[in-house]
């Protein structure tokens, strides 16, 4: 498998050329990686207008992921989400022309989605889970195909212009993307997916990446599940999205078979609008090298890793730990004292990805070693001796994303004059910038929504002491 970006940098280093260009380290070692950290010099291509080695590497990635086109980002899925929404707003003619582009989105969005809607002045209609379904967490918002179909068929007025789903979510719940894409197709709507946690899904024995299942576009944080430096991400465009299939509804907003080409034609511009003009060549090389990694026995290694994770789950279930069903590379423990459990793990040399009151999330890849599995097991085995931690399954219920009244648009709230106030004084105030830490970065209140009692209780539960609200008067 060719690695054109890495090969170029190798040659550049060995050429002995004097670096009379940025970056200022001039290739001299400070951290150790500086000699590989170049900029868009002659021959190195330009990410925003790639036609050379970057475009070549992206085409290799597209072949590996089975997409129509794949584009690199060195600024994470957060960047790709903004680009994906600008592309959607550009390429899909609106159902209701007299109003902003409107996205129907499952409410557990990452905050970058809110930022994008504010910057692009998009409107959002939220989908919440049916009844009591879903886990006890703001990360959880399972939307079924049946539910989506019922929301769209019962929709009064203009339909939304696109549907947006986060899958897998932070707790490893995977949505029925095929079912959701088919419903979207029936109503002539594109399905966009935040697949930040699921880059590996295409490489399973049965590929279940959103692009395999009918989505139009998705973002993958390559850095979350593949051996890519932090910030490396993909924008994938599907060759055969469900909404372009022959069974799409009459009056469909999807432009038809030329859609993938239209999206691909706009993608670099959309990424450039929100991206830096100084992309990290370290991250680009890392994405480039990942192509080689993916083509060199990755499927087999992934399969072995999944077996090891499943085995660990079994070993943990025996002494009574509750491992939730989740996507294959996550181990999600539901626990009455999850925060204490995470501290216990840390004291035993295991750092988790995420914890809140009820869950501890551990993420694995083929790069984890046997020692890592053994340390998790050993740490949890010592737990029975530590009686101060209750490792039984969390039984608390009722943590749900609140349905808050909207006072103004996301844009007005995000860009308006704001102030930070103590969370407990926020009752009735309008959320400005969503205050939420990452992970999981799922906002309790969205910009423009008014805080109610339930929202304040959740802020307290998640330890958020200050919030950003619009100034009054």
Ligand X SMILES: Cc1ncc(COP(=O)(O)O)c(C=O)c1O
Interacting residues with ligand X (CB under 6 A): 76-78, 110, 112, 166, 170, 194, 196-197, 221, 233, 438-439, 441
Lookup result for tokens 């709507």: 189
Residue 312 neighbours by CB under 8 Å, 6+ apart: 331, 373, 376, 377
* Nearer CB in complex with ligand X: 228/342: 228
Residue 165 neighbours by CB under 8 Å, 6+ apart: 105, 106, 143, 175, 177, 180, 191, 192, 193, 194
Question: Mind spelling out the 3-state secondary structure of 361-413?
Answer: EEECCCCCCHHHHHHHHHHHHHHHHCCCCCCCCCCCCCCCCCCCCECCCHHHH
- Cα dihedral 176→180→181→183 (10° resolution): 150
> CA 378, CA 463: separation in Å to the nearest integer?
30
Minimum CB–partner distance for residue 436 and ligand X (Å): 11
Minimum CB–partner distance for residue 66 and ligand X (Å): 21
* Nearer CB in complex with ligand X: 3/74: 74
> CA 287, CA 56: separation in Å to the nearest integer?
12
Do 362 and 330 touch, CB atoms closer than 8 A? Answer: yes
Minimum CB–partner distance for residue 75 and ligand X (Å): 7
Do 13 and 49 touch, CB atoms closer than 8 A? Answer: no
Minimum CB–partner distance for residue 302 and ligand X (Å): 20
* Nearer CB in complex with ligand X: 89/139: 139
Using CB positions, name the residue nearest to ligand X.
76
* Nearer CB in complex with ligand X: 166/175: 166
Minimum CB–partner distance for residue 122 and ligand X (Å): 17
* Nearer CB in complex with ligand X: 360/456: 360
Minimum CB–partner distance for residue 131 and ligand X (Å): 24
Minimum CB–partner distance for residue 437 and ligand X (Å): 11
> CA 302, CA 424: separation in Å to the nearest integer?
46
* Nearer CB in complex with ligand X: 223/429: 223
| 277 secondary structure, DSSP code | S
* Nearer CB in complex with ligand X: 54/199: 199
Find the radius of gyration of the CA atoms of the chain: 23
SS3 content of the chain, % helix, strand, coil (to 5): 40, 15, 50
Minimum CB–partner distance for residue 109 and ligand X (Å): 8
* Nearer CB in complex with ligand X: 253/363: 363
* Nearer CB in complex with ligand X: 13/438: 438
* Nearer CB in complex with ligand X: 68/170: 170
Minimum CB–partner distance for residue 221 and ligand X (Å): 4
Task: Compute the Cα dihedral for 441, 443, 448, 450 and give only its sign.
Answer: negative
Minimum CB–partner distance for residue 73 and ligand X (Å): 8
Paired with 162 in beta bridges are 103
Strand 233-237 relative to strand 217-220, pairing: antiparallel
Task: Compute the Cα dihedral for 375, 380, 385, 386 and give only its sign.
Answer: positive
Residue 263 CB neighbours (<10 A):
26
């Amino acid at each position: 498998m060719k690695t054109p970006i890495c090969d170029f940098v190798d040659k550049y280093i060995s050429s002995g050329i004097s670096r009379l260009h940025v970056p200022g380290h001039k290739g001299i070692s400070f951290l150790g990686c500086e000699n590989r950290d170049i900029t868009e010099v002659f021959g190195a291509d330009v990410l925003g207008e790639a036609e050379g080695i970057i475009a070549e590497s992206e085409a290799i990635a597209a072949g590996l992921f089975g997409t129509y086109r794949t584009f690199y980002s060195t600024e994470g899925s957060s960047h790709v989400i903004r680009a994906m929404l600008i592309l959607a707003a550009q390429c899909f003619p609106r159902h209701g022309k007299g109003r902003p582009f409107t996205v129907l989105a499952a409410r557990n969005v990452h905050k970058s989605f809110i930022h994008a809607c504010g910057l692009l002045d998009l409107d959002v209609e939220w989908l919440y889970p049916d009844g009591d379904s879903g886990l006890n967490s703001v990360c959880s918002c399972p939307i079924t195909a049946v539910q989506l179909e019922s929301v769209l068929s019962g929709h009064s007025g203009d339909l939304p212009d696109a549907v947006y789903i986060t899958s897998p979510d932070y707790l490893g719940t995977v949505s029925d993307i095929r079912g959701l894409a088919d419903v979207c197709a029936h109503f002539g709507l594109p399905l966009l997916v935040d697949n930040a946690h699921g880059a590996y899904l295409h490489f399973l024995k049965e590929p279940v990446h959103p692009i395999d299942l009918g989505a139009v576009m998705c973002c993958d944080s390559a850095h979350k599940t593949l051996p890519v430096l932090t910030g490396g991400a993909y924008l994938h465009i599907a060759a055969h999205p469900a909404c372009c299939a022959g069974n799409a509804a009459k009056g469909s907003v999807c432009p038809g078979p030329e859609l993938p080409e239209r999206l691909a034609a706009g993608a670099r511009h959309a990424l450039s609008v929100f991206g830096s003009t100084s992309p990290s060549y370290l991250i680009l090389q890392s994405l480039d090298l990942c192509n080689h990694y993916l083509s060199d026995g990755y499927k087999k290694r992934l399969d072995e890793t999944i077996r090891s994770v499943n085995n660990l789950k079994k070993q943990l279930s025996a002494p009574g730990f509750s491992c939730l069903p989740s996507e294959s590379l996550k181990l999600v423990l539901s626990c009455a004292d999850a925060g204490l459990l995470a501290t216990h793990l840390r004291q035993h040399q295991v750092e988790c990805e995420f914890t809140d009151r009820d869950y501890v999330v551990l993420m694995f890849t083929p790069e984890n070693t046997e020692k890592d599995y053994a340390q998790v097991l050993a740490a949890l085995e010592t737990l029975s001796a530590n009686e101060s931690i209750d490792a039984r399954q969390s039984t608390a219920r009722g943590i749900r994303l609140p349905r808050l009244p909207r006072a103004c648009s996301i844009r007005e709230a995000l860009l308006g004059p704001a102030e930070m106030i103590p969370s407990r004084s926020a009752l009735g105030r309008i959320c400005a910038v969503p205050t939420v830490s990452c992970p999981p970065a799922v906002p309790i209140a969205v910009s423009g929504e008014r805080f109610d009692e339930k929202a304040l209780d959740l802020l307290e539960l998640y330890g958020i002491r200050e919030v950003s609200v619009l100034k009054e008067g």
